[in-house]
Chains A and B, each alone.
Chain A
Amino acid sequence: MVSEYLLRSEGISKFFPGVKALSNVSFTLKQGEIHSIMGENGAGKSTLIKVFTGVHKMDEGSIFFKEEQIDLDSPQSAQNKGISAVFQEVNLCENLSVAENIFIGREPKKNGRINWKEIKKRAEQLLLTRLNIKIDVSKVLSSYSTAIQQMIAIARAVDMSSGVLILDEPTSSLDKNEVKQLFKVMKSLKEEGMGIIFVSHFLEQVYEISDRITVLRNGQYIGDYVTNQLPRKDLVSNMIGREWDENSNHKEKQFKNLKSSELLLSGTNLARKGSINPLNIEMRKGEVLGLAGLLGSGRTELAKVIFGIDKPDQGVLYLNNEKIGSLNPKSSIERGVSFCPEDRKVEGIINDLTIRENIILGLQTKKGLLKYIPMKEQERIANKYIKLLRIKTPSIEQSIDNLSGGNQQKVILARWLATNPTLLILDEPTRGIDVGSKQEIRQLIFDLAKEGITILFISAELEETVACCDRVIVLRDRQKIGELQGEDMTESKIMDMIAKGDEIDETIPS
């Protein structure tokens, strides 16, 4: 009997210190199918892929390759089994030739010496027959476009694979035509009987190419669906909808009347190539505005443009009716705009520094290099916020590295609160922290809004967005596709908007 599944895994769990990255995840891949894995940031997509490619060793569970149990303990062992992957960033050597890149580490030899002729011939053949592209393989890799480089990476992976190919976000740096080309190649590989695991956060693409979809959320396996039987809305709901297992105490929401409130910020035609398409945004004083959308929809990108980390290519931004000329983080902080970034480890904490130093850093940049905050004052500020946010630490001179994720997040929040912002941008402030801290931070958002601070709120959890915000802007594929407020602002309506295809765009008022 020919086994139905090329790759089958059961009950995979992976623990990192303090986090359960995957818990009891199962996944199957048939021969000749394209199977997408969907999920938000931190859902466990990359961890699962890293388990399949032997980068991470799983803590529990078993993997079967053609119904034979296999042990993946190193990238080498995965390669030997014939599971190969192409990652988001092309993992090739720019200064080597195409042919060398394809055969690096497994060069055909003749009398103990590398057979260059053979390499060239086989590389040409491979690209032509499997991927249908004809290029000069003796040119260096960097002379080709990203799309071609991606194809070359795929060619290498295909050549090494014996049936399983993993593509992790292969389309994120490609334009529409290049994506089409890639999909053609994927389809022909599928015809040949390969099993392809496809990871992407573009809904359209997933629906266009894949046969089945597996959804993960917070490291949990949510389900495995046949693509054309899964309505988009259900997919979105599976990814970011309410978590039913978490009994959240919903407060009766009161809608503020903000129509009369003054305009704090307005942006027209804001755009940045590769991150957001031209859009308008307005915020009134004291408002909590949510940005909803999937990963890569432009929600974080828009926030970065408003704060000035990324400069807009076009458009104008007004703050308090004043046109903003040069946009950069320092001047933004001076104007009272604060940005609590999404990736705490990379963009937030500074490991070497103490909690006190991490807290006063934002305020210090606001004051400038020469007006150093006196030590007494620093201690007072640090202690104030440790008390206010209930940060659990024995001392303010403790290195921030020693804190748990939730407490680190609170320190970063403290950094921004200390700058006395009028506009506070919170990008996934509750991501990756324990439930208790989550509740506390949500409560804090309510309290801050009550005090009159304007908040731009981004979260991957729709329930949280709906609970915290007065109004929501919905984004998809780097575009603003609508706005909801008041009674209209429900999880279901937001998901409807996100899930709808391009064709319905015009009917949505913006």
Chain B
Amino acid sequence: MKQYLLKFTRQKIFWPLTALALFLVLNLFIDPGFFEIEIKNNHLFGSLIDILNRSIPLVIISIGMTLVIAKEGIDISVGSVLAISGATAAAIMEHQNIWLALIVALIVGIVCGFWNGLLVSVFEIQPMVATLILLVVGRGIAQLITGGQILTMDNEIYSFIGTGFLFGFPFPIYIGIFVFLMMIFLKKRTAMGLFLESIGNNMTASKFAGIQPKKIILLVYTICGLCAAIAGIIVSANVSSADANNAGLWIELDAILAVVIGGTSMRGGRYFLGGTVVGALFIQTLSTTIYSIGINPQIVMVVKALVVILVCLMQSESFRRSFANMGKKKVSYT
């Protein structure tokens, strides 16, 4: 038993999971009713459900980001792509039917992701620079689509995507689970996981092994764009409006953080989808906690930063080692 426990602590997911658990317990002290879940009209209500529900856009985007980071890349345009897809859906829905709106919004995400992938793989532009283009231009495009206003939507089906309930649970949770399972499927049931991890780890050797890195890179950026579009639909459906300026603002930073907290290295190679999900949940819990404690809004960012630094340090093996060695006397062999 002890052995298994020890083995578990060595798993990448151990530290983010511990941090998440710690925060949930902390919340229990602040609000004794934190873990309570009520059933009203067959719908589940409660803080936990709420956190889960709200974190779904971040979870989905972080999953896409995980793939990109696994190949030593980064996609900082996800927030803008999210805004574009929401705006597209809203604009089309004004005159056309909702299904067309949804499909086009998703296609827009795919096109954006493909564009990023093209710049990175074929033209070999550094990922940060390549995706910076869409980060900057993307919100402008979204504004063009919405005509500079916040478009409101009035469609039952669409708002169900953001606020509806299915079998007691909020609908977005199902979307999140679906995306997660799809990515697990890609990783475990196709060779994509193997190829991605090997090009992320050693590009040259992968080429010698016959992997075609360009295709894989194109694929992961496209998936990342698609994930951002899905998140965009959920976000806009949740508030029944598309805000080109503020939807998904800074979400790319939270997503990168979620990936790193989840144990995937920015240097590429092995990637951990489960870890990423825990990381995203942790960030959402942190935000919720900070608000529920009632910390002065002006210093919210500082508190968030401190906690994140702490988690990152816990994850760093060399930090843990130096921490463990503290207080131990130095032994000299002379």
Interface residues of A (CB under 8 A from B): 309, 328-330, 332-333, 339, 341, 346-353, 357, 360-362, 364-373, 415
Contact = CB atoms under 8 A, between A and B. Distances in A.
Kindly state the interface size class of chain B when it binds its partner.
Answer: 20 to 34
B209 A361 contact: yes
B210 A347 contact: no
A357 B194 contact: yes
Given A330-B212, A361-B194, A369-B190, A350 B201 contact: yes
Given A353-B197, A369-B192, A369-B195, A348 B205 contact: yes
Interface string B176-211: 000000000000011110110110111011111111
B191 A370 contact: yes
Contacts of A352: 197-198, 200-201, 269-270
A351 B201 contact: yes
18 contacts: A329-B209, A332-B210, A341-B208, A346-B205, A347-B208, A349-B202, A350-B201, A350-B209, A352-B197, A353-B197, A353-B198, A357-B198, A361-B211, A365-B191, A365-B211, A372-B194, A373-B191, A415-B209
Contacts of A309: 207-208
A372 B208 contact: no
A347 B204 contact: yes
A329 B208 contact: yes
B225 to A, nearest CB: 19
A368 B202 CA distance: 19
B191 A353 contact: no
B208 A364 contact: no
Interface in B98-155: none
Interface of B: 189-192, 194-195, 197-198, 200-202, 204-212, 269-270
B266 to A, nearest CB: 14
Nearest to B190: A372
A304 to B, nearest CB: 9
Contact of B201 (A353, A367, A373): A353
B209 A362 contact: yes
Given A357-B194, A364-B191, A372-B189, A351 B202 contact: yes
A341 B202 CA distance: 14
Contacts of B204: 346-347
A339 B205 contact: no
B11 to A, nearest CB: 14
Given A333-B210, A362-B209, A365-B211, A350 B190 contact: no
A365 B208 contact: no
A72 B194 CA distance: 45
Given A347-B204, A348-B205, A351-B201, A366 B191 contact: no
A365 to B, nearest CB: 4
Nearest to B269: A352
Contact of B210 (A341, A348, A351, A362): A362
Contacts of B206: 350
B210 A365 contact: yes
Nearest to A361: B209
B191 A348 contact: no
Q: Which 10 A-B pairs have the closest CB atoms?
A: A365-B210, A352-B201, A352-B269, A330-B210, A333-B210, A329-B210, A350-B202, A350-B198, A361-B209, A347-B208
Given A351-B201, A353-B201, A369 B210 contact: no
Contacts of B194: 353, 357, 360-361, 364, 372
B256 to A, nearest CB: 20
Given A341-B208, A372-B190, 17 more contacts: A309-B207, A329-B209, A350-B197, A350-B206, A350-B209, A351-B201, A351-B202, A352-B201, A353-B197, A353-B201, A357-B194, A362-B210, A365-B210, A366-B210, A368-B191, A369-B195, A415-B209
Query: Which of A333, A352, A366 is the most central at the interface, judged by chain B CB atoms within 10 Å of its CB?
Result: A352
Contact of A349 (B200, B205, B270): B205
Given A352-B197, A353-B198, A347 B190 contact: no
A353 B190 CA distance: 16
A373 B191 CA distance: 8
A296 B209 CA distance: 23
B239 to A, nearest CB: 38
Given A361-B198, A362-B210, A350 B205 contact: yes
Contacts of A353: 194, 197-198, 201
Nearest to A334: B210
B209 A346 contact: no
A319 B126 CA distance: 38
Contacts of B209: 329, 350, 361-362, 365, 415
Contacts of A367: 191
A346 B210 contact: no
Query: Which of A309, A365, A370 is the most central at the interface, judged by chain B CB atoms within 10 Å of its CB?
Result: A365
A371 B190 CA distance: 7
A57 B219 CA distance: 46
Nearest to A367: B191
A361 B195 CA distance: 8
Nearest to A351: B201
Nearest to B211: A365
A333 B190 CA distance: 19
B213 to A, nearest CB: 11
Contacts of A351: 201-202
Contacts of B270: 352
Nearest to A370: B190
Query: Which of B197, B202, B212 is the most central at the interface, judged by chain A CB atoms within 10 Å of its CB?
Result: B202
A343 B201 CA distance: 16
Contacts of A360: 194
A309 B212 CA distance: 11
Contacts of B212: 328, 330
A368 B210 CA distance: 10
A422 B12 CA distance: 42
A362 B205 CA distance: 11
Contacts of A370: 190-191
A346 B211 contact: no
B182 to A, nearest CB: 14
B191 A346 contact: no
A349 B200 CA distance: 13
Contacts of B190: 369-370, 372
A65 B205 CA distance: 42
A292 to B, nearest CB: 23
B202 A346 contact: yes
